[in-house]
Chain A
């Protein structure tokens, strides 16, 4: 795709999400179908990558879309990033699940709600899931050192706290915190470079 073509696609996609959010707010049942068509595969993939059980993943996808449906009134259709919001909810449902299985459920329940608040997704890049971003983030993760990759993996796919990661890896907490911080900063910087290029 040409650069102008890419920008046009992104712009149209953004408009699509804005209208889709408004239709969800009007509780139009067809909007749920469109929402699923747009993000269902991605949500399922994210959840499955964490819970590693297709039946559980299906259930959690259902819960994710229901949660979006119930909370979309607080979403700013004109400025919010619908996809990142939905995927944050999807990942949290999956992490909730793996934590519940390992009896770690209560630890972050409050935080999860706070991190799902629609206001956090205002003015966020909407197209962080497109092919270019996916390639970019994979490349950025590959550039991280082994320890940074490990902490990102433990946090993203297993939902471990920094203390739990330190115990798992047999490293001091401060060291793990540094790895997490520098890893996320590197990923952010890589994404930022493209966004501003």
Chain B
């Protein structure tokens, strides 16, 4: 679309209410630093920003400053529950974390992964299954449309050049590779596998050679029926 065609949508785009095809088209024009659309959208966003300044001011609780600052302090005392709380709006993940008792903390760069996780957790069709002794303890959330969130503690130690591989076990046919992950130093892991999961009967995890395997080469230490 031309800049002239997109110009009437700058305001809607800045507000976040534009729709396709205009939304994608404007994003593409911005990505290539379009000399017409970039300043046009910028002016519209300035108006939206000004609206933020007109919102009724409310004082946040004092503890919030401590929470924000501690995220980047040299000796962070953050926990999974603390960082992930924004995304635990469905309540589910927070509950899962508490019940699993993961002591690890989330790397700041993982916010995108958290967004994917939340999308899975918020799907009303998501199945939520716990697993436990004697293997690792944890919980798995499976959305047929959006993917898998896998949370575990007490994972086995990985030998040299080994990695965990998750599998989707279909109702019929061979296991389907569903991604590779490593545990944290405390033997916990949270792994998100975005994308549709069709006809899944179970989720399994094996230890595989680094790089993964097309089919399991070891006995799964976790098999969670859905």
| Mask: chain A, 95-136; 1 = CB below 8 Å from B; 0 = not | 111001101011011111011010111111100111001101
B23–A108 contact, CB under 8 A?
Answer: yes
B53–A181 contact, CB under 8 A?
Answer: no
A97–B89 contact, CB under 8 A?
Answer: yes
A137–B64 contact, CB under 8 A?
Answer: no
B50–A133 contact, CB under 8 A?
Answer: yes
Minimum distance in angstroms from A21 CB to a CB of chain B: 15
| Mask: chain B, 1-38; 1 = CB below 8 Å from A; 0 = not | 00000001111111111110001100100110100001
Minimum distance in angstroms from A120 CB to a CB of chain B: 6
Inter-chain contacts of A137 with B (CB < 8 A): 47, 50-51, 53-54
Contact of A100 with B47 at beta-carbon distance under 8 Å, contacts A27-B72, A44-B60, A124-B42 already known: no
A115–B16 contact, CB under 8 A?
Answer: yes
Bound CA–CA A62/B79 (angstroms): 13
A191–B17 contact, CB under 8 A?
Answer: no
A111–B67 contact, CB under 8 A?
Answer: no
Minimum distance in angstroms from B116 CB to a CB of chain A: 10
A45–B119 contact, CB under 8 A?
Answer: no
A159–B53 contact, CB under 8 A?
Answer: no
Is B163 part of the binding interface, using a Cβ–Cβ cutoff of 8 Å? no
15 other contacts beyond A70-B109, A120-B42, A188-B44, with CB at 8 A cut-off?
Answer: A36-B68, A44-B64, A59-B88, A66-B111, A67-B111, A96-B115, A97-B89, A100-B89, A108-B16, A111-B27, A120-B38, A129-B52, A154-B17, A155-B16, A184-B48
A65–B71 contact, CB under 8 A?
Answer: yes
Q: Which of A34-63 contact B (CB under 8 A)?
A: 36-37, 40-42, 44-46, 48-49, 54, 56-63
B68 partner, pick from A61, A83, A183, beta carbons under 8 A: A61
Complex A-B: 21 CB contacts under 8 Å: A33-B65, A44-B58, A44-B64, A45-B55, A45-B58, A46-B55, A62-B68, A62-B85, A66-B71, A88-B49, A93-B86, A105-B118, A108-B23, A120-B38, A123-B42, A154-B17, A161-B17, A162-B12, A180-B12, A184-B10, A187-B50
Bound CA–CA A81/B120 (angstroms): 34
Number of contacting residues on B, CB 8 A? 66
Minimum distance in angstroms from A143 CB to a CB of chain B: 13
Inter-chain contacts of B55 with A (CB < 8 A): 42, 45-46, 49
B12–A177 contact, CB under 8 A?
Answer: yes
Report the contact-size class of chain A (Cβ under 8 Å from the partner).
35 or more
Is A4 part of the binding interface, using a Cβ–Cβ cutoff of 8 Å? no
Contact of A184 with B69 at beta-carbon distance under 8 Å, contacts A97-B89, A128-B53 already known: no
A70 partner, pick from B54, B85, B111, beta carbons under 8 A: B111
Is A87 part of the binding interface, using a Cβ–Cβ cutoff of 8 Å? yes
Minimum distance in angstroms from B196 CB to a CB of chain A: 13
Contact of A59 with B43 at beta-carbon distance under 8 Å, contacts A108-B23, A156-B48 already known: no
A41–B11 contact, CB under 8 A?
Answer: no
Minimum distance in angstroms from B17 CB to a CB of chain A: 4
Bound CA–CA A44/B56 (angstroms): 10
| Mask: chain B, 59-76; 1 = CB below 8 Å from A; 0 = not | 111011101110111100
Contact of A32 with B71 at beta-carbon distance under 8 Å, contacts A105-B119, A161-B17 already known: yes
Inter-chain contacts of A60 with B (CB < 8 A): 86
B61–A58 contact, CB under 8 A?
Answer: yes
Contact of A133 with B53 at beta-carbon distance under 8 Å, contacts A66-B108, A110-B27 already known: yes
